[in-house]
Amino acid sequence: MPEEIVNNAGARHQPLSEATALSAQWSSHLSKSFDHQQVPIPPPSHKSASTGKMSGKEATIFIVDQGASMGRKSNGRNESDLDFAMRYVWDSLATIMITGRTTLTVGIVGFRTDDTNNALEGEEGYNNISIMQPLGPIKVPDLKRLQKSIKPSGTDAGDAVSAVIIAIDMMERFTKKLKYARKIVLVTNGTGMMDSDDLDETSAKLNEDGIELVVLGVDFDDLEFGFKEEDKDSVKVA
């Protein structure tokens, strides 16, 4: 495993902020252009909080915003918004790989990508969304390939809600009706436009399938850490 990835496992990065919402609540977060209450990101963990023992089967899909705007360097950082956000994703993947457990499965979906590669790509609204890693156990060659392929694109087209629908479809096909802890993690700087027409239906589906949704926002206001982004993009403020 690449040494730099292992060494970063479990690190905390601010002001990348986390909003954890069960599906019944997520539409209120996303319908306000990802405006939501912030809490610090905990280090990745795959142990039961109550017993300290390893948990059962887990399926996690990371949805990564690869829009052109993710290539900018914000708030005095020397790295792009995407590289900054991906620190947490790489740490999470490394933590999963270190366990050696094949029951911890991962998938990655990119949205606002240059290309389109998903099961619903022939339907309206699913352009510029690409499956970067099918859901399943992740290995070192997968990680190396992803590190090369996850880059800011040349477009800002591509819808976050449609990407969530793609992730739900992937989750449903892989886990079927088996017992899994299911989670979708959406990583974005919140500057892209979003189609809210399918929010209610998608929220109901998340709830029905027992999928937890986590939104990781680059430079979203975080009261606990005393961070407030000034001069926000107009879409991010809305």
What does the pLDDT average to over 160-171? 95
What does the pLDDT average to over 194-202? 82
Residue 65: beta bridge partners? 111
Check: CB of residue 33 under 8 Å from CB of residue 160: no
Check: CB of residue 227 under 8 Å from CB of residue 221: yes
Q: What is the pLDDT of residue 55?
A: 59
User: Percent of the chain beyond pLDDT 90?
Assistant: 50
Kindly report the CATH number that applies to the domain delimited by 14-43+54-237. Answer: 3.40.50.410
More confident residue, 198 or 3: 198
User: 181-188 and 58-65: which strand pairing?
Assistant: parallel
Token pair listed for 165 = 């629908």
Check: CB of residue 77 under 8 Å from CB of residue 202: no
pLDDT digits (tens, 9 = 90+) for 83-115: 988 998 999 999 999 998 999 999 999 999 999
pLDDT digits (tens, 9 = 90+) for 29-44: 443 433 333 333 344 4
104 phi and psi, to 5 degrees?
A: -95, 100
212 phi and psi, to 5 degrees?
A: -85, 135
Q: What is the pLDDT of residue 197?
A: 82
Q: What is the pLDDT of residue 40?
A: 35
Q: Which residue has the tokens 């809305």?
A: 238
pLDDT digits (tens, 9 = 90+) for 44-87: 445 443 334 445 899 999 999 999 999 999 878 899 999 988 99
Listed by start position, the domains of the chain span 14-43+54-237
Q: What is the pLDDT of residue 58?
A: 96
User: 16-22 and 211-218: which strand pairing?
Assistant: antiparallel
Task: Output the CA torsion sign for 110, 111, 113, 118.
Answer: positive
Token pair listed for 176 = 């079927």
Check: CB of residue 157 under 8 Å from CB of residue 125: no
What does the pLDDT average to over 197-201? 83
Residue 202: which pLDDT band, with cuts at 50, 70 and 90? confident
